Amino acid sequence: MQLDDLYQEIILDHYKSPRNFRQIPDDEAMVDEENPTCGDHIKLIAAVEDGVLSDVKIQCEGCAICTASSSMMTEKMIGLKVAEVRGWIRDFTEMMRGGPDLPEEDLDDLMALRGVKKYPLRIKCATMAWHALEDALKQLGA
């Protein structure tokens, strides 16, 4: 079977077993965002300790790209300094919008999402979690 260039094994893996996901009650969610065009829905909470993003939890009802991007983001971002996280959010969303590719060795699993930029209608799916994390950081005043 010919594999789609966007849907690689690793995306399917994160879609089926997303990391750092759990049910988040409405009153606990720091960010609650819905993409009105497709119904993708993300709730997110984050915690910062001593300038480091110590935890992120996500509840996502969305497509494989949205779910995988959320899951990969949590794996990559937890444990980084807030300033580094901000840099990642900027560079990753920029890359999705057609900006420069981040180095392969930095991206790890996120490499699989580089194909998204070829599909303008899917970019929102891949960047939704990242914008949600950005909102959460703002709320934390971090």
Q: Which residues bind to other proteins, rule: CB under 8 A?
A: 1, 3-4, 6-7, 9, 12-13, 16-17, 37-41, 61-67, 119, 122, 125
Q: Which of 56, 65 has the CB closer to other proteins?
A: 65
Residue nearer to other proteins on the CB measure, 40 or 142: 40
- When the beta carbons of 37 and 141 are compared against other proteins, the nearer one is 37
Nearest distance from residue 5's CB to other proteins, in Å? 9
| Shortest distance in whole angstroms from residue 48 CB to other proteins | 31
CB-based contacts of 112, cutoff 8 Å, min separation 6: 8, 10, 11, 68, 72
Q: What is the distance between the alpha carbons of residues 101 and 111, in angstroms, rounded to a whole number?
A: 9
Shortest separation between residue 26's beta carbon and other proteins, angstroms: 15
| Nearest distance from C-beta of residue 37 to other proteins, angstroms | 6
Token readout for 117 is 């930029």
Smaller CB distance to other proteins: residue 47 or 64? 64
Closer CB to other proteins, 53 or 132, in the complex = 132
Tell me how far, at minimum, the Cβ of 120 lies from other proteins, in Å.
Answer: 12
